[in-house]
Amino acid sequence: MSFDSFGLHPDLMRAIAEVGYSTPTPIQVQAIPEIIAGRDVMGAAQTGTGKTAAFTLPILQRLMPYASSSASPARHPVRALMLAPTRELADQIAQNVSTYAKYVPLKSAVVFGGVDMSAQTQQLRAGVEILIATPGRLLDHVQQKTVSLSTVSVLVLDEADRMLDMGFLPDLQRIVNLLPKARQSLLFSATFSTEIRKLAKTFLNDSPVVIEVAARNAAAENVTQVVYEVDRVESKRAAVAQLVKRQGLRQVIVFTNTKIGASRLARELQREGIPADAIHGDKSQGERLATLEKFKKGEVEVMVATDVAARGLDIAELPAVINFDLPYSPEDYIHRIGRTGRAGASGRAMSLMLPEDQRLLIDIEKLLKRTIPREKLVLMRAPREPFTPRDDRLAVDSPSRSRTPPTKKPTDPIFSEPYQPQGAALGVSAAADTSVSKPEASANGSVATPTGVPSRASLSSIRRGPRSVPALLGGKPKA
Ligand code: AMP
């Protein structure tokens, strides 16, 4: 099957040809005709399946009759609203929309929290047909009357399961109440849990088309997995450096369970001469987007990430991921290894395991319904640092995923001293980031407390947080 069979507008076909897609992915084959036909769709598909194009292309096709080169805001009312749980995901969708709409005079904008509203406000005032948003920030704009949702004819809820996990249901309800009843609604979720089905009943029409392209908990077939047994944390740091160097890995995400662990490993790799940086919930939005951008460009070769920061990120043709720590939740293992082997490419997932982490591996293997080959990793060089009895699991990025919650207060100075960004330009003006004098929101929009545990109260306060921080971004970092 080819893209020709969908009857997409030549300007969309031109953009598709330019990004080099020749064959639609399974979710695209199933969803594109249904969405073009105006039906509600409930799609079970994870990031990596091509789901963004599966909903964006047909939406653009449906909006083609409204495309207008007029500068008048009145000619560009919001017609499609795409909601995503995290800023990174929203930004990623926005990039997809810009790519596919390159030759079409339909305007799009992305709004998410953690950055000042005024640049977003300007964009909204100028008029956009396609608005990509995280729920909290969208409501802030609604409250400030910078956007009206009364003209929306297509609603997309992306990663709906994550939105529920993150407590966005009340916000979603508020948003949906502002939309016209007669609209097309599309819901995408990695899994169809009972809660997701309930959500679909409320937000979608009575008989949505149900599309499932990946079985629940299915790990990508084309990912080779291996577990390396190592004796202690310091050996793990040396092991990562060795794997990266020996295998000549030029683009790899290394997952840690903790924010401290991520920063420390990135520093260690930098000392080894490997271009590395960390991305986690304690980093500002500007820093995270800048690191991601550098990683995509190849300036950063190893991105050390926690689950919260990495969820939903799409990096084309990532050849490998390394689990520095085995995740506490086996589902996270599947998400992590799903960062590689995307859209049909082959990938390699390597995990480092300490003797005490056997249990975590057993849980993962139970979920995968298969065993992962174990190998002993012979270190070519002694670990760099002497062993210090520091618990790397103290700053867990995602409390809900931790089975072993912290029991003692961390003493690492990283908690008491302000974060010092490493390396060169961070891509966003320093004034912009420091202007937000409140706890930083993590990738899930929640707030990191000193132990890395986001509180519900602070979560809602940041989403409803101060509205007077100065101007900075139009949704994307300025290079
Ligand atoms: P997504 O699941 O939307 O995050 O997409 C995963 C990756 O697949 C993105 O990098 C897309 O650019 C890519 N992709 C989407 N559709 C296709 C296609 N038909 N052929 C090849 N790659 C694609």
> Any idea what the Cα angle at residue 186 is, between residues 180 and 188, rounded to 5°?
140
Compute, in angstroms, the gap from residue 106 CA to the centroid of ligand 1.
21
Q: What percent of the chain has pLDDT over 90?
A: 50
Ranked by mean pLDDT, which of 138-152, 186-200, 320-334, 417-431 comes out on top? 138-152
Compute, in angstroms, the gap from residue 307 CA to the centroid of ligand 1.
21
* For range 162-185, the mean pLDDT: 92
Dist. CA 328–CA 28, nearest whole Å: 33
pLDDT at 390 over 50: no
51 lines ligand 1 (CB under 6 A): yes
Lowest average pLDDT, out of 46-60, 132-146, 357-371, 449-463, goes to 449-463
pLDDT band at 285 (very low <50, low <70, confident <90, very high): confident
- What's the confidence (pLDDT) of residue 206? 78
- What's the confidence (pLDDT) of residue 469? 26
Ligand 1 atom at minimum distance from 21 CA: 20
Compute, in angstroms, the gap from residue 326 CA to the centroid of ligand 1.
27
Looking up tokens 């594109």 gives: 32
Q: Residue 434, Cα to own-chain centre: how many angstroms?
A: 23
Looking up tokens 């859209």 gives: 343
pLDDT band at 454 (very low <50, low <70, confident <90, very high): very low
341 lines ligand 1 (CB under 6 A): no
Given strand 374-376, what is the order of strands in its sheet? 276-279, 302-305, 252-255, 320-323, 347-353, 223-229, 374-376
Dist. CA 279–CA 323, nearest whole Å: 15
Contact 459, 445 (CB under 8 A): yes
Q: Name the token pair of 433.
A: 């980031």
* For range 36-60, the mean pLDDT: 91
pLDDT at 281 over 90: no
Ranked by mean pLDDT, which of 65-69, 285-289, 342-346, 382-386 comes out on top? 65-69
Nearest CA to ligand 1 atom 5: 50
Contact 14, 20 (CB under 8 A): no
CA nearest 319: which of 334, 302, 294?
A: 302
pLDDT at 401 over 50: no
Compute, in angstroms, the gap from residue 236 CA to the centroid of ligand 1.
33
Ligand 1 atom at minimum distance from 46 CA: 2
362 lines ligand 1 (CB under 6 A): no
Tens digits of per-residue pLDDT, 325-345?
999 888 788 878 877 765 556
Compute, in angstroms, the gap from residue 49 CA to the centroid of ligand 1.
6
Q: Name the token pair of 141.
A: 């704009």
pLDDT band at 312 (very low <50, low <70, confident <90, very high): low
Compute, in angstroms, the gap from residue 93 CA to the centroid of ligand 1.
11
Dist. CA 55–CA 188, nearest whole Å: 9
- What's the confidence (pLDDT) of residue 380? 76
Q: Is 377 left (phi over 0), alpha (psi -120 to 50) or beta?
A: beta
- Please report how the helices 285-297 and 87-100 are oriented relative to each other, as an axis angle in degrees rounded to 10: 50
CA nearest 87: which of 120, 123, 50?
A: 120
Dist. CA 27–CA 349, nearest whole Å: 24
Tens digits of per-residue pLDDT, 205-219?
878 999 987 544 455
Dist. CA 166–CA 460, nearest whole Å: 11
**Average pLDDT score over the chain:** 78
Tens digits of per-residue pLDDT, 96-126?
999 999 999 999 999 999 899 999 999 999 9
CA nearest 445: which of 111, 166, 144?
A: 166
- pTM of the predicted model over 0.85: no
189: which strand partners?
Answer: 44
Looking up tokens 């990025």 gives: 397
- What's the confidence (pLDDT) of residue 332? 82
Dist. CA 59–CA 66, nearest whole Å: 12
pLDDT band at 287 (very low <50, low <70, confident <90, very high): confident
